[in-house]
Amino acid sequence: MARNKKEWEQNTLQPSIERFGETSDRFTTDSGLEIDAVYSVEDTNHTPSSYIENLGFPGEYPYTRGVQPSMYRGRLWTMRQYSGYSTAKDTNERFKYLLEQGQTGLSVAFDLPTQIGYDSDHPFSTGEVGKVGVPISSLEDMEILLDSIPLDQVSTSMTINSTASILLCLYIAAAKRQGVTQDKLSGTLQNDILKEYIARGTYSYPPIPSMKLVVDVFKYCSDNIPRWNSISISGYHMREAGATAIQELAFTFSNAIAYVESAIKAGLDVDDFAPRISFFFVSQNNLLEEVAKFRAARRIWAKIMSERFKAKNPRSIALRFHTQTAGVTLTAQQPDNNIVRSTIQGLAAVLGGTQSLHVNSKDEALSLPTEESAQLSLRTQQIIAHETGITDVVDPLGGSYYIENLTDRLETATFEEINKIDDMGGAVSAIEQGYQMREIGESAYNHQVEIDSEERIVVGVNRYVTETPPIAGLLKVDARAVADQIDRLKSLRERRDNKAVAVMLSNLRSMAVTDANIVPAILDCIENYCTLGEISQVFREIFGEQTEIASI
């Protein structure tokens, strides 16, 4: 009998293993971390004597094992299915359907014109209205979107960045029309502009004024909307662009550091705004690396906030995050396979301790999800919650030699990358140098090379390929719906008080050149039915427009 791991490896392991018809003597995670054949207590930092110090218990610093003592025993994660398409009316009907099916929170997808600050009737919006989300050009649109949805009872997440301050004001104003005051609203605004420069591209203004808008939202939410998360710092889109798990964590937390520093520089105390900071991560196919990633993320954030920023409030230190399964892994070939992929990814998010979850639908590589496929994705979450037993225990994989080793190594590698970005002057400076974009581009290239060479197998794409009949009944946006949206916007401009609109936009222009918080002026514009495009145009005139940042 072997007395230690090294002796076991010498006596037992073969020099190479044949798997998938190929011989290999080296196994790695998707991030390139080498994987041993077996793990033991020798591979962890968590010996019995140091267990509490290094690993802790759920609900206690450094929160490796979860931010709540009881986790899902006490409350399940919020089930949010990301929705938005065609028109505000169509999306409102989808919201109501999903709530009837057991969804516990809304998650709004906006179309591309809304994301970058153009009204539906702008020439730049042609061909994009309602395609990848719901078009919202005015308070009238937002009122239709949220019609008959009790905003004092439902938590809403809005995936919006460049125009985040405007959409927040639209939501506040629509709630006011329902008689719901700001202090009763709960939800999350993505409001993460830095990742747009890195990976997603829906920016409008240069980084400095954009950061000012972000911090103004921090201030406004801190003073007026205590239950609202003023930012959801996103690693999701960087991972979708090709980042590794380590890069996802490092680039996300470097961005978070930049936001915290900007808020403190603007005069905010860290414990006044940090409790409302949240995060948004992806869950990929490598189940155990993803579980370890989520556990490492909590520990990394706890250390950043307590050691770097000296936060005292436990809510400033405990990382809360939303997870979405990986859209980039969905395949048009054999789309039913996507059900399996999304289930595994959802399972990883739950095992890793997420606070809310969206599971992608099987048809999203081909179209927007149908009502039937959206229901199946919600049912996937409900089956994980109620039929697997994994919600009965907190941190089910905690203490696994491999999970703890991988958690440690992901933490170490992430801090090394954060330190590298610090040495460049921080996230904004690194973005201006194109660093994150180059790193993600290289990782994406390497990933594709592995697929092309079949070193990485994608079932149904480069192995186990079959002829797949086309899926019937894919969702398509009705062209008439786009015309109706534009006609309604034209009618609004004729019906509103255009003298009041001019006054509000003039006041906004005056406020935009000062250091004052601009959110109240935006809210005044919204309540007088100024459009999103008109407000954004004021900002373009004052701040300028951001051109593409070179990545080479």
Q: What is the per-residue pLDDT across 300-321, written as a single tens digit (0 to 9) for each?
A: 999 999 999 999 999 999 999 9
CB 204 within 8 A of CB 540: yes
Q: Residue 17 forms beta bridges with which residues?
A: 24
Q: What is the per-residue pLDDT across 151-180, written as a single tens digit (0 to 9) for each?
A: 999 999 999 999 999 999 999 999 999 999
Give every CB contact of residue 469 below 8 A, 6+ residues apart in sequence.
Answer: none
Q: Which two structure tokens, joined as six digits, stand for 158?
A: 């809005």
Q: Which two structure tokens, joined as six digits, stand for 510?
A: 């005056």
Q: What is the per-residue pLDDT across 440-467, written as a single tens digit (0 to 9) for each?
A: 999 999 999 999 999 999 999 999 999 8
CB 160 within 8 A of CB 133: no
In angstroms, rounded to a whole number, what is the distance separating the alpha carbons of residues 505 and 517? 15
Q: With pLDDT > 90 as the criterion, what percentage of the chain qualifies?
A: 85
**CATH code for the part of the protein at 49-64+74-452:** 3.20.20.240
Q: What is the per-residue pLDDT across 71-89, written as a single tens digit (0 to 9) for each?
A: 999 999 999 988 999 999 9
Average pLDDT over every residue of 274-299: 97
Q: With pLDDT > 70 as the criterion, what percentage of the chain qualifies?
A: 95
Going by C-alpha positions, the residue among 285, 278, 407, 280 that lies closest to residue 346 is: 285
Q: What is the mean pLDDT of the chain?
A: 93
CA angle at residue 328 from 398 to 168, to 5 degrees? 85
In angstroms, rounded to a whole number, what is the distance separating the alpha carbons of residues 9 and 156? 52
**Within 10 Å of residue 259's Cβ, how many Cβ atoms?**
24
In angstroms, rounded to a whole number, what is the distance separating the alpha carbons of residues 533 and 536? 5
Q: What is the per-residue pLDDT across 407-436, written as a single tens digit (0 to 9) for each?
A: 999 999 999 999 999 999 999 999 999 999
Q: Give, in order, the Cα–Cα distances in Å from 228 to each of 171, 181, 185, 297, 538.
A: 12, 12, 7, 22, 26
Lowest mean pLDDT among 60-64, 364-368, 541-545: 364-368
Prediction pTM value: 0.93
Q: What is the DSSP letter of 128?
A: T
The pLDDT score that the predictor gives to residue 552 is 39
